[in-house]
Amino acid sequence: MPRHTQATVRPTPLRRGEVERALNQLLPAEKIERFARETGFVRRERTIRPVAFLWTLVLDFGVELHRHLEELRAGYAERTELPVTYPGFYLRFTPELSKFLKRCLEYALAELAHEPGRELDPKLARFEDLLLKDSSVVRLHASLAKKWPATRSRKVAAGVKVDLLVSVRANGPKTVALVGERTHDAKLLRVGPWVKDRLLLADLGYYSHRLFAKIGENGGFFVSRWKRSADPLFVRSLTVHRGRAMALEGKRLSEVLPRLQRQTLDAEVELAFRRRTYGGQRSGDTLRCRLVAVWDEAGGEYHLYLTNVGPEVLSAEEVARLYAMRWEIELVFKELKSHYALDEFRTTNAHVVEALIWSALLTLVVSRRLHTLVRRRASEELRPRYTQLRFAVNFRRGARHILTAMLYDLGLSKDRRNQFALNMYLVEASLDPHIKRHRFREEWSM
């Protein structure tokens, strides 16, 4: 019997045509053609075929294989055998192309949500989903500063903000927005009935007592870091401490925190906030929620969190560990910028910039769809070793083979698929060789 039985388990290879079927389900050819007509991207198909054009953008530029539009055009012409000129190709980068790509992305996001790629840990069983919210700025050529001015800069600069709401269950983005860099993060989180039974993790850019109250009023849940300018009033302690424990009731956090000597603090607090102006009046209100403080030995300080999740669902330590899951959305932006060319826009054409940003986001969704496919086919012991960033590296390397397989399957290219290459990149190389490595996200999703 082998010493390490787990090391001898082999990954399950993908069957012939499985990649093409998954991507055709994510974005069916008939939907792509319909969106192209409805958005005005194409009126008559001649040298530009919307299906081939879309997949070339997503699987060629989107994985950083081609830096310039001329190279992108040459790749499109070579695979489809359509004699498109550079001016004809360049002139396709219009507002209509951006609308077309956005429609395709919206459809793909809905499809991604219909087939969850992960299940939440039993500790989170009462929640429909775990959602992560954040944004990142993409730097642009200074000539675009009039349309997309930078927030803080001593010289002329431009930037566009990419705002994401990521679903842990869907294993990818749920909503996407492109806005000017000067748009405040808090304005990008509009709470409504969609938050019901969902748990949202957001950073301090979205911190708002009014927002937290609205999440609770709509049946949703949140976990947020505490903002230092807030000074909540303690209502009652949610834990019993032995000995001469400090009384909390009626005190402010500013009074308690300097004298705190507990490993953890778990209490109900009250926070004041102002409602939105209605009928010319703006009334005051209060929010009651849970404040958790957990001592960080390495940093020598307390980490404080606000949440409306009860202690019977998550302990104070679990609240802190769960908030660390927010790092997952940072990895999404790292994947976009490191592997899908999201921060490599040197063009001065605003239409090209928008189209390529939507293309990079579509590339991310395609990568996550295939990541889910590979994880589902893997055995239970191998599944945690298919990490998203490692998969993204190999997805990028194998993207040309995926593009060839897609165009051949759709009858748009005579080049045959290379099944060996698809399995080599997506299945074999994407498996993390470190069997016992700790992967933090596996604590909260499977």
354 shares a domain with 260 = no
Specify the pLDDT at position 45: 63
Q: What is the pLDDT of residue 4?
A: 43
366 shares a domain with 280:
no
Place of tokens 């530009």: 48
Domain-ending residue, one of 307, 332, 359: 307
Looking at the structure, do residues 302 and 355 belong to the same domain, yes or no? Answer: no
Pairing of strands 221-225, 264-274: unpaired
pLDDT tens for the 446 residues of the chain, in order: 344 444 467 888 999 999 999 999 999 999 999 999 999 998 776 768 899 889 988 988 654 434 567 777 877 787 777 778 777 788 888 999 999 999 999 999 999 888 777 788 888 989 999 999 999 988 888 888 888 888 866 677 888 999 999 999 888 899 999 988 888 888 889 999 999 999 999 889 899 999 999 999 999 999 999 999 999 999 999 886 655 667 889 999 999 999 888 889 999 999 998 877 666 666 788 999 999 999 998 889 999 999 999 999 999 999 999 998 888 888 889 888 888 877 767 778 888 889 889 999 999 999 999 999 999 999 988 888 898 889 999 999 999 899 999 988 988 887 777 889 999 999 999 998 877 665 555 666 65
Domain boundary among 275, 307, 339: 307
Pairing verdict, β 198-202 and 221-225: parallel
Q: Is the residue at 199 inside a domain?
A: no
First-to-last C-alpha distance (Å) of the chain: 29
What is the distance between the alpha carbons of residues 292 and 308, in angstroms, rounded to a whole number?
11
Phi, psi torsion values for 146, nearest 5 degrees: -65, -40
> Of the residues 247, 280, 307, which one is the last residue of a structural domain?
307
The domain containing residue 12 runs over which residues? 5-114+348-443
User: Are residues 367 and 283 both part of a single domain?
Assistant: no
Same domain, 291 and 355: no
Q: Is residue 290 part of a domain?
A: yes
Give the per-residue pLDDT at 3.
44
In sequence order, what DSSP letters do the residues of 406-430 get, joined into one string?
HHHHTTS-SPPP-HHHHHIIIIITT
Same domain, residue pair 52 and 104: yes
Is 179 part of a structural domain of the chain? no
- Residues 300 and 237 both lie in one domain: yes
CA distance 425 to 332: 20
Enumerate residues 6+ apart whose C-beta is below 8 A from 52: 76, 79, 80, 82, 407, 410, 412, 413
Residues 402 and 339: their CA atoms lie apart, in Å, by 16
Q: How many domains does the chain have?
A: 2
- 198-202 and 129-140 strand pairing: parallel
Residue 183 lies in a domain: no
Quick check: is 120 in a domain?
Answer: no
User: Does the residue 182 lie in any domain?
Assistant: no
DSSP string, 103-157: HHHHHHHHHHHHS-S--B-GGGTT-SEEEEEEEEEEEE-GGGTTTSB-SS-SS--
In a domain, 283, yes or no: yes
d(CA 32, CA 108): 11
The whole model's pTM is what?
A: 0.87
Q: Looking at the domain assignment, is residue 285 inside a domain? A: yes
Domain check: are 357 and 290 in the same one?
no
